[in-house]
Structure 1
Amino acid sequence: MIRYGNLRWMLLFLLLVEGNANSLFNSPILTADASYNSYKFNILHHLTAISPYFESDTNELNPGLPIGCTVDKVVYLVRHGSIYANDYDYEHTIDPFLKRFQSSLSQIDFSRSQEFAFLQSWNSPISDPNEQLEKLTKSGRLEAFHLGTQLAYRYRNIIPDNLDASFKIWASSSNRTKQSASSILSGLSGKEKTVDDVSLINEEKNQGANTLSPTKTCSKFNISSGSEQANIWLEHYTSSIITRLNNRISGFQFSANDILAMQELCGYETVIRGSSPFCQIFTSDEWLSFEYYFDIKYYYSFGYGSYLSASLGMPWVVASSELLNETVTTNQNLYINVVHREMLPLVLTALDLYNDSNENPTFPLDRINYRRAWRSSQFVPFLGHIALERLQCASSSYNGKFIRILVNSAPQPLPGCEKGPGASCPLTQFMDYIKNRDDLHDDFSKACQVNYENSTDVFTFFP
């Protein structure tokens, strides 16, 4: 189906299909002693929204098609590929550490410590913040292209042999989402594409719910939500790390912010350079504490800890569900939206996935809840994605249409709606489920208390 018009794209295709986009990075693995050979801790799988893309099938459900089923329509929500750094992370955490580090080089000999010897000759991977912040890395473009080629083979029965201008892919109007969408489209079509081929959705506040960036159009949303709770945990978990590292390097006096910055640099430097010496400074327990910090933050800003989350995610869920429920035949049966990190947890909250029991506190701030369901590394890595597949099945066991949800290609059963093949949900039951979820929450305008004219409570970009 895919025809490559020049050698450069063919070589790129072969590079990616031979392995996967993750093979671009050196995975830092922590192990136990020789008597625990099976313990392998991959740091890159615990960096939450700074993780390179990976698949985590905790349910161990088969992501392949159930016997007797085909996919006849599917909707994808995809986060953009890896970037040099998020502007908030850089300005509030990483840059203050870099400035402290640079000013201390003339007074402190970092080479006297094995962990920090690299700092004597190390330079920041973010050399030009004005040009690099929020921009895709080279690996980010490759990750997006690779996803496009995967989808081209996964859904070859519903993708036209030659994608023309009538095939739409939607993206938020920022640079990183536009370029990610263009690279995905290149992988799908086997042709070089540009952002001009992508349908852009405005991020201005007067879009109301008719956007892929609802946190920017919701008057009540506060980006600092969750910071208070997360910072309590930050001070708690970094105290022992600070003591340990201050004993290794005298004179620098590490702070909680320094610890967070070095852990963030592990992820950002890896997606920029392929690896980072910062990754090996911390133990597996300390990485789990870092992961817990962002889980807390995202839970209270984009998840079940905020009354806004489901109201912000539901317009896209309702529009996608209605699209999957349509019986009219169209020329397009694969729909892809490319978005920012926050959109994925908003949608998962609307769907009631990764939800914890109310019997115990989800996020105590003086210890890690190791049994929690809400683990952001599993759903918001770079290029993380949610798929709603409509299955058409005809077998001795199942007959009819079903909806299966994939998160980073791993099936995720809906609570109480998993009677179909591969723990999918019968289409009619799925539509009832979505209506019930929608009825539980305020519509967008009421939840956000919008103060601008001509707001809307629905997402209408799908044809």
Structure 2
Amino acid sequence: MLSSSIGIALLLSAISVSAQVNLLTDINQISRSWGQVSVYADNEEDYFGVEYVGLPDGCQIESASTLQRHAQRFPTSYIDDGVNDQQFADKLSNFTKAASGNSSVGLFTGPLSFLNGYQYIMQDTGLLTGIGAITEFQSGVSFWNRYGRTLFNASLAQLAYNSTIDNGTARPPVVIRTTSQSRIQNTQISWSLGFFGPSFRTIASPTLANWTAPFERVVIPEGGTENNTLASYDSCFNDYSALGYMGDDDIFTYLPKYLGAATKRMQKYAPSGFSFNYNDTYAMQSICAYEYNYIGMSDFCFLFTADEWAGFENTLDMEYYYDYSYGNPTGRAQGIGYLQELIARLEHVYITSSNSSVNSTIDNNAATFPLGQPFYADFSHDDIIISVLTAMSMDYFKDPPSLSQYPPNPNRHFNLANLTPFGARLITETIGCSVPDPAPVKDFRTQYTPTQYGYDADNATYKFIRMRLNNGVLPLNTIRGGGCGTANDGRVDGMCELSAFIASQATAYELSNYDFACFGNYTIANLTSGQDYDGAATMASY
């Protein structure tokens, strides 16, 4: 009876504290507050402010390029990631081991009672998790459903890509690219299982025999100093200096601004002798995210308020803005290589020499850099997507996260949960239309067949570009210079005439100032000042 009364008292105490601070318990909302480690969810098509998201009459997508981020992974060996999490886990383990059998040392109580027997179950390997493989499989299926069906004029009830044409002729293998890193290769494998469909064929294939026959992989080395547009930091040496950690440094100056109340709250349930600090509380939020992305559950997830989760998201937004976007002098340089490849594919030209992270020995021939494929799939990292958008001067995202505001502005444009969650994908669509200025269509329309809304490939001589980020149509009219229109003129459906889009990127390399940004001898006196460098280093600035 006594133990029951004590248990009820502890529960009532926990409920009382929870009621006072309104702890967030909706895991769907929580898991969309984790920045670049958020669970994937499609953005609404108009999320980025483009109100007309339908495909116009007489138009159809004629090719699609996806820059696909890996999905859920284990933590990595960075201080603000796996290292800080491990340090908290070690601190906790050392305390509970020392306290074991010592009746004079109390226990964690209330919502932290689970810590008395807790064991940290992860390592900072950065490997793709099983849940991550599922996310990528779903992404491959989704890409087939949205693009593959119409690009390849799918037959009735066709489930996935077919490597033969209707007359029995074999299609040439599709070339897809990945880096050599384990989680990127496993991302490519999982995505390909979804798109090419060997595990749900009409005739089951238990051995998945010859399932890779429809495609060829180009594996670009990652981890050294080689050129690799899908891991461009390898060849941008200044990213390995203090410049590459500007955003990481911002995190730890922000923790006291938003975790004060949470840290005090945790301390109420801690035994004598165990002191929570800001880094510990931050680690608890991070461990929640990584455990959920590993095993789909975590007792750390329901200990924080909505504002505290918003603060957590903001730390990651500032990290990436000041490491890879306009807030870092190498931001443009790290994205310019992939942008050059994208333009080369649109112009149907090889790249025979490199002035960036492009590996011209790969991009100068049809075997490893084919032109004219109906679709392209490149498997990469979140920071590359951010840097590509920066190199493009898509100024919609030139919206620096506040280094001091708490709670942060919920309407800010640079929010990683919507930009680069696990499994993020930046898709460039080439659209053919029968008229030069097709009337925009407000609402999305499912394209059941390529010709449903009047598209005729023979008459679709007018070409446009449209881009999507996690399903949301990107506002190409915010590209600096107005080549794709502005907020006050031009198209309202995110489409930009092909030659105008290419022209809008004519100065992108010059703006990146690649050689100086990546190899120049310069320093920044105050790495956490919040200065916006427009994503580039100029000699006049240092």
Q: TM-score, normalised by structure 1?
A: 0.79
After superposition, the Cα gap between the structure-2 partners of 1:354 and 1:279, relative to the gap in structure 1 and judged at 3 Å, is: farther
The AA in structure 2 aligned to 1:334 is: F
Q: Which residue, 381, 387, 393 being the options, matches 2:433?
A: 393
Kept in 1: contact 2:174–2:216 (CA 8 A): no
| 1:423 CA drift (Å) | 2.0
Say yes or no: does 1:226 pair with 2:247. Answer: yes
| 1:215 CA drift (Å) | 1.0
Residue of structure 2 in register with 1:429 after alignment:
500
The AA in structure 2 aligned to 1:265 is: I
Structure 2: 5+ residue stretches without partners: 1-17, 21-25, 100-104, 153-160, 165-170, 199-207, 351-369, 441-459, 522-542
Residue of structure 2 in register with 1:118 after alignment:
114
Q: Which residue, 56, 77, 87 being the options, matches 1:96?
A: 87
Kept in 1: contact 2:107–2:113 (CA 8 A): yes
Describe the SS at the equivalent of 1:184. Answer: helix
After superposition, the Cα gap between the structure-2 partners of 1:122 and 1:197, relative to the gap in structure 1 and judged at 3 Å, is: farther
After superposition, the Cα gap between the structure-2 partners of 1:43 and 1:67, relative to the gap in structure 1 and judged at 3 Å, is: farther
Q: Which residue, 207, 226, 239 being the options, matches 1:207?
A: 226
Q: Which residue, 175, 182, 189 being the options, matches 1:182?
A: 189
The AA in structure 2 aligned to 1:406 is: R
Return 349-358 or 182-191, whichever deviates more: 349-358
Residue of structure 2 in register with 1:304 after alignment:
326
Kept in 1: contact 2:426–2:470 (CA 8 A): yes
The AA in structure 2 aligned to 1:94 is: D
Residue of structure 2 in register with 1:28 after alignment:
none
Structure 1: 5+ residue stretches without partners: 1-30, 34-38, 452-463
Q: Which residue, 231, 235, 238 being the options, matches 2:259?
A: 238
Residue of structure 2 in register with 1:280 after alignment:
302
Say yes or no: does 1:80 pair with 2:74. Answer: no
| 1:121 CA drift (Å) | 4.0
Distance 2:417 2:343 in 1: 26
Q: Which residue, 299, 312, 320 being the options, matches 2:342?
A: 320
Distance 1:167 1:317 in 2: 21
Describe the SS at the equivalent of 1:315. Answer: helix
| 1:64 CA drift (Å) | 5.3
| 1:397 CA drift (Å) | 2.7
Q: TM-score, normalised by structure 2?
A: 0.69
| 1:298 CA drift (Å) | 0.9
After superposition, the Cα gap between the structure-2 partners of 1:315 and 1:389, relative to the gap in structure 1 and judged at 3 Å, is: same
Kept in 2: contact 1:50–1:264 (CA 8 A): no
Say yes or no: does 1:133 pair with 2:151. Answer: no
Distance 2:493 2:118 in 1: 49
What CA deviation, in whole Å up to 9, does each residue of 1:146-198 have, x standing for no partner?
11111112112324621767211101110000011111112111125569952
Kept in 1: contact 2:36–2:382 (CA 8 A): yes
Kept in 2: contact 1:349–1:355 (CA 8 A): no
Residue of structure 1 in register with 2:404 after alignment:
365
Kept in 1: contact 2:333–2:512 (CA 8 A): yes
The AA in structure 2 aligned to 1:447 is: A
Residue of structure 2 in register with 1:42 after alignment:
29
| 1:41 CA drift (Å) | 7.2
Distance 2:280 2:493 in 1: 45
What CA deviation, in whole Å up to 9, does each residue of 1:86-119 have, x standing for no partner?
2325542111111111122253655521x21222
Return 349-358 or 303-312, whichever deviates more: 349-358
Distance 2:495 2:372 in 1: 25
What CA deviation, in whole Å up to 9, does each residue of 1:389-419 have, x standing for no partner?
1111236537721111100111111214253
Distance 1:355 1:339 in 2: 23
What CA deviation, in whole Å up to 9, does each residue of 1:227-263 have, x standing for no partner?
2222111232222221222123243211111111111
Distance 2:511 2:349 in 1: 27
Give the 5 Å matches for 1:147-158.
Answer: 147-155=139-147, 156-158=149-151
| 1:124 CA drift (Å) | 2.5
Distance 2:93 2:224 in 1: 40
Identity %: 25
After superposition, the Cα gap between the structure-2 partners of 1:153 and 1:246, relative to the gap in structure 1 and judged at 3 Å, is: same
Describe the SS at the equivalent of 1:168. Answer: strand
Kept in 1: contact 2:76–2:125 (CA 8 A): yes
After superposition, the Cα gap between the structure-2 partners of 1:53 and 1:354, relative to the gap in structure 1 and judged at 3 Å, is: farther
Return 63-72 or 240-249, whichever deviates more: 63-72
